[in-house]
Structure 1
């Protein structure tokens, strides 16, 4: 027979090794016990939780209702959440609200009613579901669009054919201009359906083995003649680049669309950067950020320093007929075509934008596998090296986007570092002034508030000269953040980045600090 001490030890072990958060409370809602996973989830120390009301883990609106729910259950026995799993919202110590799944059970110990809550953080699942829903929505729109375009082409065939017959059968001089206008309009309709078919991924691509540098260089030569002298075009093409299988004509069209969109966003003048580089997506973090399968890709980035896009515009940017330039004659098909072409080519498109600072589009094309010169056989995959690990140093993560902040915390902890975090530069500066013990600050470049990433880095350089700083940005280059720049140079890690890149940058900076 197991004694009481053994029972307690087993219970303690179960709670400590549990992956999900566990919280035990009495019928008044006072927290009796909680495990380490619960403390991590809600960002409290265990000592801060014990003896407090479970309402501290809920948004205010839900917390106000909780006591009534519990009193009603105790009085009537009605189960609204007891013994039933439910998706709810939790609130962390910093006030941020996040989705979680809550299962509550109850029991009695020595005549005292207790409740056991098991909680699972749904943040990553919700983000994945949103990405999947967005992809499915675009796929559904694509299927519908393809069907409409097909039927519309049949109608246009009849219209064009009859107009040509009228023209051939001797229309008079008054009828010919009308027939000519009608034929030109029908041809414009045919061009429209062609672009819709590209979005629907039903166009007939003619992919060939291509070097993106050559294709982009030719397209940019044409662009420089048409885009205007007030717009500067810069290029950053990697010296070593894999080949890709793409349709050169569609690639040229996609680059022209992105460049002309950038010109419109920049107004009277600005700078456009076109960069090309090999990218290897070989860890779950980067695949999660880009929503594409791991593998080798060639990334074509087009970045501008224009007006930027709102969150709603970013969410709908690739939908056909959605446009923010309706008054200027925009059709809303340019980005839809780019999306359809890249997806039909087996790749993916990413978009990063900030209002007032510009936008950056990333086009990922699968790299063509190299063949060995000797036998034409594909080389064996190289074993991926494990990234260098930290020794418990503390990294202060500064990021205003809650999802990105949570992901950054996970990534850096996985590399063997301890973490602190702040939602903006102002809060990070307050923490440092208050004496936070930090070895390195890892900060986003563009954030709301008084201090952006550059400003925070400049203050750290002036007031905490021994503290290292690594900045990160979703833009392809700081060409779009020139207005933020300071005289001091700071390292910038561009999003999305691989776990190995993050590890190497952190280790290099910390090693430099250790060397004095």
Structure 2
């Protein structure tokens, strides 16, 4: 083997081994070579990008400026974009835009100029950063709130004490009426401060070893009165729940607050589902998606089929005094109190909502040390070693680009090829145009003409060989009640384990 052939072989091996995307182009911007990581990152098939201009990998605004940047560099030699990494946006084949970091190097050989771009997907990093910033913001608000609440407690102690002294000394009816009114207002202020102390994680919890299933059943009559006769409530409690350390009074208060929020969101004829189960978060993907630390938990989820929340509302839902229901007397402290109580109990809280379809709030309370060991999860072995695919194709249908990115990464990790669609209608048109898929993995709630149920029904009629697995963060019986379609469809609930997804797809592909 001569030296040139050896260097070529080594270069190809280096490209294939590189975990980051690598794209080689000429001075005209024509793609000459790229590694498998690049084709996967941008959602293209092998060989599909070679010969195209690198502009196809950029959003329009950046693509329009790219040629100008490169011409200026070649003419002047200025290196503003060469040898310096920067954060930009990439454009996938399906039209979705994602954040990435790019570093560009230049090579001159035999009178030709070549550029090598190394690209790193920043989606997970930015998701983690946003979750961290949100947590830090709530922590900062909590610390400030705790300090203010402490000072106001001192002031209210003096005010209430003096008003009670005036009350004890008596007086005419007019004076007593004024003192009683002032005392009632001060006590309301004290209650407000108590609620703020819960959010600030400075309340005096009285935790005991408890079974969440038992506590929930005990609270059910109160929840039924809270929801009213026009709404229905269903409870699903898994067997053999692990015990947790929790303040029963605060847990019941949290359930009532969540029920009140659900009642206001559902108006009338609503459906509320409370589900409790053991979860073992030993899956890195699931931990990233839910912002919950790896470990064993008991998860208590409260789901409604109300109006749901916009993305902006979801970002601020746990902040104190943030409310969209001022006209209904909302104070904005209900979810803030739940958040503070769960975090003070060493737990975590996640929120999933689809506008127009409902909301699910999940409380993750850590299992008592040693309790999980006495009740091992039946899926523990399968979770640690998920079954792998054999190159079958899964069409991922999800309107949220971040969630879609998670799903694609998971599926590729376990040996599947992937195609992507942002809506049910786009997925249907892709299949009609000849895109091959063994399984369609679709979100249940999506914008456009087809939701997940409608897409599944259409595929069962026109593409019966294609298996369909649906996923949703809302309770299945809440969502399916709005679908008004017949059919028994397999639903994987968000958030889900890496192994759960692998096992469900493998089961679909295994001949009966």
Q: Report the TM-score range of the alignment, normalised by the length of the smaller protein.
A: over 0.9
Secondary structure in 1 matching 2:279: strand
Contact 2:395 2:439 (C-alpha < 8 Å) held by counterparts: yes
Instruction: Give the Cα–Cα distance (whole angstroms) in 2 for the partners of residues 253 and 201 of structure 1.
Output: 15
For residues 121-180 of structure 1, give each alpha carbon's deviation from its aligned partner in whole angstroms, at most 9, with x where no partner exists: 111111111111111111111111111111111111121122222223333322111111
What residue in structure 1 maps to residue 507 of structure 2?
Answer: 508
Instruction: Give the Cα–Cα distance (whole angstroms) in 2 for the partners of residues 102 and 406 of structure 1.
Output: 19
Contact 1:392 1:416 (C-alpha < 8 Å) held by counterparts: yes
Offset of residue 378 of structure 1? 7.0
Contact 2:43 2:419 (C-alpha < 8 Å) held by counterparts: no
Secondary structure in 1 matching 2:48: helix
The aligned length equals 509
Task: Map 1:290-439; keep pairs closer than 5 Å.
Answer: 290-370=290-370, 385-439=384-438
Offset of residue 66 of structure 1? 1.2
Instruction: Give the Cα–Cα distance (whole angstroms) in 2 for the partners of residues 213 and 12 of structure 1.
Output: 58
Instruction: Give the Cα–Cα distance (whole angstroms) in 2 for the partners of residues 477 and 396 of structure 1.
Output: 22
What residue in structure 1 maps to residue 153 of structure 2?
Answer: 153
Greater Cα offset, 471-480 or 124-133: 471-480
RMSD: 2.0
What residue in structure 2 maps to residue 23 of structure 1?
Answer: 23
Q: 1:204 to 1:44 in 2, by over 3 A?
A: same
Dislocated runs of 4+, deviation >6 Å:
377-382
Q: 1:241 to 1:185 in 2, by over 3 A?
A: same
Instruction: Give the Cα–Cα distance (whole angstroms) in 2 for the partners of residues 510 and 352 of structure 1.
Output: 30
Contact 1:370 1:379 (C-alpha < 8 Å) held by counterparts: no
Q: 1:183 to 1:226 in 2, by over 3 A?
A: same
Instruction: Give the Cα–Cα distance (whole angstroms) in 2 for the partners of residues 126 and 227 of structure 1.
Output: 39
Q: 1:135 to 1:42 in 2, by over 3 A?
A: same
Greater Cα offset, 97-106 or 4-13: 4-13
Contact 1:281 1:287 (C-alpha < 8 Å) held by counterparts: yes
Instruction: Give the Cα–Cα distance (whole angstroms) in 2 for the partners of residues 46 and 295 of structure 1.
Output: 39
Q: 1:438 to 1:44 in 2, by over 3 A?
A: closer
Secondary structure in 2 matching 1:49: coil
Secondary structure in 1 matching 2:299: strand
What residue in structure 1 maps to residue 219 of structure 2?
Answer: 219
For residues 368-413 of structure 1, give each alpha carbon's deviation from its aligned partner in whole angstroms, at most 9, with x where no partner exists: 24469xxxx9799976641222222222211111111111111122
Q: 1:414 to 1:46 in 2, by over 3 A?
A: closer
What residue in structure 2 maps to residue 440 of structure 1?
Answer: 439
Q: Please list every run of 5 or more consecutive structure 1 residues that lacks an aligned counterpart in the other structure.
A: none
Contact 2:226 2:259 (C-alpha < 8 Å) held by counterparts: no
Offset of residue 422 of structure 1? 1.4
Instruction: Give the Cα–Cα distance (whole angstroms) in 2 for the partners of residues 51 and 268 of structure 1.
Output: 59
What residue in structure 2 maps to residue 488 of structure 1?
Answer: 487
What residue in structure 2 maps to residue 246 of structure 1?
Answer: 246
Contact 2:226 2:260 (C-alpha < 8 Å) held by counterparts: no
Secondary structure in 2 matching 1:127: helix
Contact 2:242 2:371 (C-alpha < 8 Å) held by counterparts: no
What residue in structure 1 maps to residue 165 of structure 2?
Answer: 165
Q: 1:499 to 1:14 in 2, by over 3 A?
A: same
For residues 204-237 of structure 1, give each alpha carbon's deviation from its aligned partner in whole angstroms, at most 9, with x where no partner exists: 1110011111111121112223432111111111
What residue in structure 1 maps to residue 142 of structure 2?
Answer: 142
For residues 464-492 of structure 1, give each alpha carbon's deviation from its aligned partner in whole angstroms, at most 9, with x where no partner exists: 22322111110133223312142111111
Offset of residue 46 of structure 1? 4.9
Q: Does 1:454 align with 2:459?
A: no
TM-score, structure 1 length as denominator? 0.94
Q: Does 1:192 align with 2:195?
A: no
Contact 2:226 2:256 (C-alpha < 8 Å) held by counterparts: no
What residue in structure 1 maps to residue 87 of structure 2?
Answer: 87
Secondary structure in 2 matching 1:174: helix
What residue in structure 2 maps to residue 66 of structure 1?
Answer: 66
For residues 337-362 of structure 1, give each alpha carbon's deviation from its aligned partner in whole angstroms, at most 9, with x where no partner exists: 00110111111111111111111111
Instruction: Give the Cα–Cα distance (whole angstroms) in 2 for the partners of residues 380 and 325 of structure 1.
Output: 44
Offset of residue 33 of structure 1? 2.3
Instruction: Give the Cα–Cα distance (whole angstroms) in 2 for the partners of residues 104 and 371 of structure 1.
Output: 53
Q: Please list every run of 5 or more consecutive structure 2 residues that lacks an aligned counterpart in the other structure.
A: none
